[in-house]
Structure 1
């Protein structure tokens, strides 16, 4: 079985969101959504890190559920920004794809630990 560096993927996902929004947004709504997206993307990475150190399967599943919640929030935020023309879809294709893949991975892991 191939070992995947999921910790690294979560960190890279959070870092890519930070880099995408490195410039000061031009409006109140853009600023609000950018800050919230950075929080949710980073929170997903941090909670996934907590999953690795959880002591029981129940605790692992709980950390994964929090991670999933934050990933879904990130995806919703990206979609809102694209629909509101705050973010161009072309600039977010890679982040959207990685967000979707991470959601799928976490859902699979939750099934394993639940």
Structure 2
């Protein structure tokens, strides 16, 4: 069976986000970490939902939402980095994963049009 790269990448990213969330909660940071948790895990949830879309329009809509959540996650990661909750190295690693996810999702959304 052929693997689905966007499902795999978005799931792996969600796992990383959960770990960052736990780490930040131990540092008593609850607000920004919760925002990242919501947007970062929503990417994969929407990608997974898109696999069962009832129409091409529904598929494109779910993938578009996943793309928006990825862009939002990038914002929260940068904010966490710039407010010194996570290191630049941690942020850059997460941002590289997001860059790949955003690139793939952008192609999927464009091709679904």
How high is the TM-score relative to the length of structure 1?
Answer: 0.88
Question: Deviations along 1:21-59, whole A, 9 cap, x unmatched?
Answer: 3232535xx310101101111111100001111121111
Give unpaired runs (5+ residues) of structure 2.
none
Question: After TM superposition, where is structure 1 displaced by more than 6 Å over at least 4 residues in a row?
Answer: none
How high is the TM-score relative to the length of structure 2?
Answer: 0.89
Q: Does 1:45 align with 2:47?
A: no
Q: Tell me the residue number matched to 2:15.
A: 15
Q: Distance in 1 between matches of 2:78 and 2:112?
A: 30
Give unpaired runs (5+ residues) of structure 1.
none
Structure 1 vs Structure 2 CA RMSD:
1.6
Q: How many residues align?
A: 111
Q: Does 1:26 align with 2:20?
A: no
